[in-house]
Amino acid sequence: MAPFKSDDNATAGSPTADGTGNRRGGRRKAARYVVPVTVVGVAAATIGLVPAFAGSGDPDLPKITAQELIEKIAASDVQQLSGTVKISTDLGLPDLSGLEGSLGAGGGADGDEGSAADPSAKLPELASGTHTLRVAADGPDKQKLSLLDEASEYSLIHNGDDVWAYDSGSNEVYHATGAEADMQDGAEDGAKRGEEGGADGKSGVVPEDVPATPGELTEEALKAVDDTTSVTVDGTMQVAGRDAYKLLIEPKQAGSTVGAISVAVDAETGLPLKFTLTPASGGAAVVDAGFTKVDFSAPSAATFDFTPPEGAKVTEADDLEAQAAEERDAGQLPESDEELAAGLEDLGDLEGLKVIGEGWSSIAAFDTGGEGLSAAPSGDGDLGGLLNSFGDEVSGKFGAGTVFSTRLVNVLITDDGKAYAGAVTKEALVKAANADR
Amino acid sequence: MSRAERAQSTGQRTDQRTDQRTDQRTDQRTGEQAGRRTGPADGTYARTPSPLWTFGLLRSELVTTFRRWRTLALLAVLAAVPVLVGVAVKIETSDGSAVGGDGEGPAFIAQITNNGLFLVLTALAATLPFFLPMAVGVIAGDAIAGEANAGTLRYLLVAPAGRARLLIVKGATTIVFCLVATVVVAVSALVVGALLFPLGEVTTISGTRIGLAEGLARALLIALVVAASLIGLAALGLFVSTLTNSGIAAMATTVGLLITVQILDQIPQLDALRPYFFPHYWLSFADLLRDPVHWDDLLRNLGLQGVYAAVFGSAAWARFTTRDVTV
């Protein structure tokens, strides 16, 4: 931009110029603002168009049947990889993360029970919002899973006999060794990924694995595949710069809230690279987890080395268990965390649980053993009122009840204390409740 | 600043400028001024000043800016923040207890007691949301409007600086201030950290370890990234500064915009817009301390600052080169 030219234009617009000059100057003045507007336009176009172009070129891959593709996933044996996974979950639940955090902080202030680095406290965070994870694996003995937060990171490192968890935000370390480390494979599965069917993490310390990576999510989805499901190969796509087949899993039955599950499977290694679960009601995906970067070469050995930093608070899993057992004996503290974490799986142990229907539209029915929520006198508990405000009142042949909805799972609790839960629509729940009478 | 003081400093400034510019002017543009005023309409001139003139102008501008009491006071406040944080952490942990154990407080505060280098990061994380951008907003907002307010803008334009060139020099001075302000915070924090706490191997937030030398190199890189994070705001402030003749109004508007955008950046309902707010990726500098470095947000931050600089820089140019300078 030549400075003198601009000065000249300024002169042309000045009062000394004649009328014609004024008008021309005015136009020239306006013309200058074209520059910033153009810059905005170019920036917007770049932001808008580059991803569109990047995603447009579907790779040309040899045809493959759905059966072959599923076998390819099962046969996949990726031992070494490092990559970045982005996971977004939108269950349509109210965002209670802040509340949870403040409650947790309050609990922590009481004493030194628990640890911020305890995996059972950290991993359930993945259930809502968008998170960036880093995974690295080198054989069955070395895995690392890091949860990237703003200005802090939570790392879970499995190296041989040791399992370390490090929370940089609070500078706390959690450590488990030997036999215990094996039990934690559930949580470690995140990093393990390539391994088929890792050990069942049934430890009380670490919650049953929270599926975080496309591989684990796919495994769960394929478990549900039976004759009520249609599985097709739906073309190809590019994920993290790699060519992939798209596997589409759709429930055939009506009444399910699951619209479709689409899995991008790496054409070369058979590793699931992206997992998307869309609800039948449409809208944004409920779960969307995919690699944004992936590299199949061996990560550097230093990645899996961990020495607790000086001054960090180290919690040993043994101590924690002993402490928890002590507290349990004393009857001081219900294991609220663990109970919550065990979540739906605990439902399987409930007395009187039965499953209505099959496949995707199966509904779990059980007796809560108590009075229904609405049965509680309204003035009695604020909690009941609060819960009711989240739910919808429904009634049918079974009586009356309340339906609590998320975008994926609906739960009907009747006034006489029966509960029906499933990934099905409200109508299907009511129908099941009616039929159950 | 009292009125008398301001009048005095304005007087000094004008003198200083006039002195320096007179020196350079004598050999570079003798008798050209009159020709310029009534210059040929096609915009050609017999002579253009040498490029060195720009550096002379920049030097004079830098000296004027950094000699100002206001600037020195801002830098002193910034240098005091790490001292406060360091002393507070030292006192609180003198009985052996940990600080920020629940992940509260500014980022990295829990690690300070074990490694003084983390005070640099804590200080930058603590000043980046407000102190640093406020200082930049003051300098950027004052750049053009302050001159107009003090009546010195006319003199500057009478010299053959050229409006675009003057704007570039003002912008460059503001960016130099971004860097100096950040370095002041970082150096002050490093000195306090080294005095009060041990220095040693650095544990990255991914849990791996790097040597002290690499830790220092990363801290330097972080300071540069933080300085670069302020460029978008500097350009915005410069644009606001060309809109008004009141320096105070420009500063207040810039700092007000900063606060407004930061509040908007906290609203989840604006999720679609938030990535385009200039402070959105500010804390991404911490990604330099991951192992391996997580570049995605860092690059997004730098790109965003570049876009803001281009948009508001060119808007400032469009405004400043076409406006009537009457004061």
Distances (CA, A) of A180 to A162, A201, A318, A321: 9, 10, 9, 11
Residue A400's domain is classified under what CATH number?
3.30.310
| Cα angle value B135/B139/B144 (rounded, 5°) | 160
Min distance B106 CA to chain A CA atoms (Å)? 9
Q: How far apart are CA A77 and CA A196, in angstroms?
A: 8
CB atoms < 10 A from the CB of A315, how many?
21
Please indicate if any CB of chain A lies within 8 Å of the CB of B205. Answer: yes
Q: How far apart are CA A75 and CA A271, in angstroms?
A: 9
User: Is A333 among the domain residues?
Assistant: no
Residues A36, A85 within the same domain: no
Quick check: B315 and A36 CB within 8 A? yes
Q: Nearest CB to A171: which of B110, B294, B322?
A: B110
Please indicate if any CB of chain A lies within 8 Å of the CB of B308. Answer: no
Mean pLDDT for each consecutive 10-residue tract of chain A (437 residues)? 41 42 64 88 84 67 84 84 88 54 37 59 74 88 87 87 86 76 43 35 38 75 74 85 88 81 88 88 84 88 83 78 63 45 45 73 76 46 58 79 83 82 84 79
Residue B16 pLDDT > 60, yes or no? no
Residue B204 pLDDT > 60, yes or no? yes
pLDDT tens for each residue of B111-132: 888 889 999 999 999 999 999 9
Residues A352, A243 within the same domain: no
User: Is A329 among the domain residues?
Assistant: no
For residue A340, the model assigns a pLDDT of 42
Residues A50, A81 within the same domain: no
Please indicate if any CB of chain B lies within 8 Å of the CB of A312. Answer: yes
User: Is A116 among the domain residues?
Assistant: yes
User: Is A418 among the domain residues?
Assistant: yes
User: Is A137 among the domain residues?
Assistant: yes
Note the maximum CA span of chain B.
77
Residues A148, A257 within the same domain: yes
For residue B196, the model assigns a pLDDT of 93
| Contact status, residue A420 vs residue A412, Cβ threshold 8 Å | yes
Residues A132, A252 within the same domain: yes
Q: Which of B304, B310, B294 is nearest to B265 (CA)?
A: B304
Quick check: A168 and B324 CB within 8 A? no
For residue A260, the model assigns a pLDDT of 86
pTM: 0.74
| Contact status, residue A231 vs residue A238, Cβ threshold 8 Å | no
Q: How far apart are CA A82 and CA B184, in angstroms?
A: 38
For residue B24, the model assigns a pLDDT of 43
pLDDT tens for each residue of B258-279: 999 999 999 988 888 888 999 9
For residue A215, the model assigns a pLDDT of 77
For residue A341, the model assigns a pLDDT of 43
| Contact status, residue B133 vs residue B231, Cβ threshold 8 Å | no
For residue B308, the model assigns a pLDDT of 95
For residue A188, the model assigns a pLDDT of 42
Residues A165, A96 within the same domain: yes
Last residue of a domain, one of A308, A324, A340: A324
For residue B102, the model assigns a pLDDT of 53
Residues A152, A209 within the same domain: yes
Last residue of a domain, one of A16, A34, A54: A54
Residues A40, A110 within the same domain: no
User: Is A60 among the domain residues?
Assistant: no
Phi/psi at A208 (5° precision): -45, 140
Residues A88, A26 within the same domain: no
Q: Which of B322, B241, B307, B164 is nearest to A32 (CA)?
A: B322
User: Is A343 among the domain residues?
Assistant: no
3-state SS track over chain A: CCHHHHHHHHHHCCCCCCHHHHHHHHHHHHHHCHHHHHHHHHHHHHHHHHHHHHCCCCCCCCCCCHHHHHHHHHHCCCCEEEEEEEEEECCCCCCCHHHHHHHHHHHHHHCCCCCCCCHHHHHHHHHCEEEEEEEEEECCCEEEEEEEECCEEEEEEEECCEEEEEECCCCEEEEEEHHHHHHCHHHHHHHHCCCCCCCCCCCCCCCCCCCCCHHHHHHHHHHCCCCCEEEEEEEEEEECCEEEEEEEEEECCCCECEEEEEEEEECCCCCEEEEEEEECCCCCCCEEEEEEEEECCCCCHHHHCCCCCCCCEEEEHHHHHHHHHHHHHHCCCCCHHHHHHHHHHHHCCCCCCEEECCHHHCEEEEECCCCCCCCCCCCCCHHHHHHHHHCEEEEECCEEEEEEECCCCEEEEECCCEEEEECECHHHHHHHHHHHC
Residues A241, A379 within the same domain: no
Residues A379, A263 within the same domain: no
Range of the domain at A38: 3-54
Quick check: A146 and B108 CB within 8 A? no
CB atoms < 10 A from the CB of B229, how many?
27
Min distance B72 CA to chain A CA atoms (Å)? 30
Residue B63 pLDDT > 60, yes or no? yes
Residues A319, A356 within the same domain: no
pLDDT tens for each residue of B213-240: 999 999 999 999 999 999 999 999 999 9
Quick check: B321 and A9 CB within 8 A? yes
User: Is A330 among the domain residues?
Assistant: no
Question: The tokens of A199 are what?
Answer: 């050990």
Q: What secondary structure does DSSP assign to B43-60, as a single string?
A: ---S----THHHHHHHHH
CB proximity under 8 Å: B 253-272 to A: 268
Quick check: B43 and A4 CB within 8 A? yes
Overall number of domains in chain A: 3
